[in-house]
Amino acid sequence: MRSGYAVQLIVDLAMGTLHDPTSQSFAAASVLPQGSARRPGDVVPGAPPSALPGKDVLSDVLRAIKLTGALFFWVDAHSPWSVEVPQAGSFVDFILPRAQHVISYHIIIQGSGWVSVGHSPPIEFSEGDILVIPHEDPYAMRSAPGLRSGLSEKDSLDFFRAMAAGQLPFVVTEGGDGPLLTRYVCGFLGCEARPFNPLLGALPPLMRIRRAAGTPIDLLDRLIELTLAEIPAQRPGAECIRLRLSELMFVEVLRRYLEMLPQEQTGWLAGLRDPAVGRAVALVHDDPARGWTIEELARETGVSRSVLAARFMRLVGCPPMQYLMRWRVQLAARLLTDGRAKVSVVGRDVGYKSEAAFSRSFKRVAGMSPAEWREGRRQ
Q: What is the pLDDT of residues 299-335, one digit of tens each?
A: 999 999 999 999 999 999 999 999 999 999 999 999 9
Q: Give which of 222, 221, 223, 206 is closest to 257, Cα–Cα.
A: 206
Task: Collect contacts of 211-217 with beta carbons under 8 A, ≥24 apart.
Answer: 211/128, 211/129, 211/130, 212/128, 213/126, 213/127, 213/128, 215/128
Q: How many CA atoms lie within 13 A of 43 on its CB side?
A: 12
The answer to whether 103 touches 134, Cβ cutoff 8 Å, is: yes
The pLDDT of residue 29 = 33
In this structure, what DSSP letter does residue 312 have? H
Compute the average pLDDT of residues 32-44.
35
The answer to whether 253 touches 30, Cβ cutoff 8 Å, is: no
Is the model's pLDDT at 30 over the cut of 50?
A: no
Compute the average pLDDT of residues 54-70.
89
pTM above 0.85, yes or no: no
The pLDDT of residue 379 = 66
SS3 371: helix
**Percent of the chain residues topping a pLDDT of 90:** 67
**pLDDT digit string (tens) for 65-112?**
999 999 999 999 999 999 999 999 999 999 998 889 999 999 999 999
- Residue 278 neighbours by CB distance under 10 Å: 25
**Banded pLDDT at 52 (limits 50, 70, 90):** low
**pLDDT digit string (tens) for 174-196?**
999 999 999 999 999 999 999 99
Q: Which domains does the chain have, with CATH numbers?
A: 67-191+203-260 (2.60.120.280)
Spatial separation of the C-alpha atoms in residues 288 and 58, rounded to whole Å: 15
**pLDDT digit string (tens) for 212-270?**
666 777 888 898 888 878 776 678 888 888 889 989 999 999 998 988 899 889 999 99
Q: Quick one: 372 exposed, middle or buried, by C-beta within 10 A (0-12, 13-18, 19+)?
A: middle
The pLDDT of residue 291 = 96
Q: Give which of 322, 330, 340, 350 is closest to 378, Cα–Cα.
A: 340
Residues recorded for the chain: 379
**pLDDT digit string (tens) for 128-172?**
899 999 999 999 999 999 999 999 999 999 999 999 998 999 899
Is the model's pLDDT at 298 over the cut of 50?
A: yes
